[in-house]
Amino acid sequence: MMTASRLHNYKGTLLFDEPMSKHTSWRIGGTADKFYTPVDIDDLSVFLNELPENDELLFLGLGSNLLVRDKGIRGAVVSLKGCLSEIETLDDSSVRVGAGTSCAKLARYCHRNNLIGGEFFAGIPGLLGGALAMNAGAFGGETWCLVKSVITIDRQGNTYTRTASDYEINYRSVKGHENEWFVSADLQFVLGDGEAAALRVKELLSKRAITQPTGLPSCGSVFKNPENDYAARLIEASGLKGYAIGDAVVSEKHANFIINSNQAKASDVEALIKYVQKIVKNKQAVNLQTEVKIVGELDNE
């Protein structure tokens, strides 16, 4: 553990042996050695600079696209929930958004300020930082289509300004500067009818509630959609709806969701993910790639 003498400059909240099940939408996961919530970017910089170099480091949003293994994380988790959540107007159609801003909050800000193009954020159950890290999308929109530039931070607490051209952006994939984490982004929208945008968001969310198991412990979509196809269709066609390992269950409502039906373990979910991949490969000749990020200590480590 980090000693108190090395932490006298930090201002945020530092917890030890924090259960990650409290911070993931699957309600699953072992403990993190350190769990830190900074108060601002300067405080985050101090914490990162003092963090031992050999500590594993994970930046966390709402835990909605994350599976933490049962043995937990032997290192530090930086939680952006409740911090770095400011939205600053830059001009008539662009804003600077902190990585700790929820995508739902950003969607509301857009239609209240007559900014068009961000409606899809209402369908992303996470923070902007996570959306930037994976090029999250919903309802046909994707995060990086709106990015003008980003500010990142590294393990030493140094910050950098990057543009989209500094990264390789693809479907649910962002590569480049892997040892840096997003702290804010400048986003470009189009001026338009905010009331019409709000109505569109309401319609999309109503449709999602009908077709997806909202309100149940899940991570959202587990697998990426293959090109010109849908993971849910492939899983359903393979006869896997309702299939369970322990209390981890393939949703009957939407086959690309795995539900924690009671007291599922991370090992149950991970085993079910691998089983689904195996069966879909055998029956459909398609290699499903995970959208969810799996982290933490393996059982044999």
Q: What pLDDT is recorded for position 264?
A: 97
Is 172 considered catalytic here? yes
Is 50 considered catalytic here? no
Cβ proximity of 58 and 69 under 8 Å = no
- Name the catalytic one among 221, 238, 251, 267: 221
CA 7 remoteness from chain centre:
28
- Name the catalytic one among 18, 119, 270, 291: 291
- Name the catalytic one among 162, 172, 208, 233: 172
Residue 193's CB is within 10 A of a number of other CB atoms, namely 12
* pLDDT (tens digit per residue) in 25-73: 999 999 999 999 999 999 999 999 999 988 899 999 999 999 999 999 9
Q: Round to the nearest angstrom and report the end-to-end CA distance of the chain.
A: 19
Identity at 292, one-letter amino acid code: V
pLDDT bin (cut points 50, 70, 90) of residue 20 is very high
Alpha-carbon distance 275 to 288, whole Å? 11
Question: By three-state DSSP, how is residue 292 classified?
Answer: coil
Residue 42 has φ and ψ, to the nearest 5°, of: -60, -40
* pLDDT (tens digit per residue) in 158-184: 999 999 999 999 999 999 998 999 999
Indicate the pTM of the whole model.
Answer: 0.91
Domains of the chain by range and CATH?
Answer: 4-79 (3.30.43.10), 87-210 (3.30.465.10), 213-295 (3.90.78.10)
Is 208 considered catalytic here? no
* pLDDT (tens digit per residue) in 191-241: 999 999 999 889 888 988 888 998 899 999 999 999 999 999 999 999 999
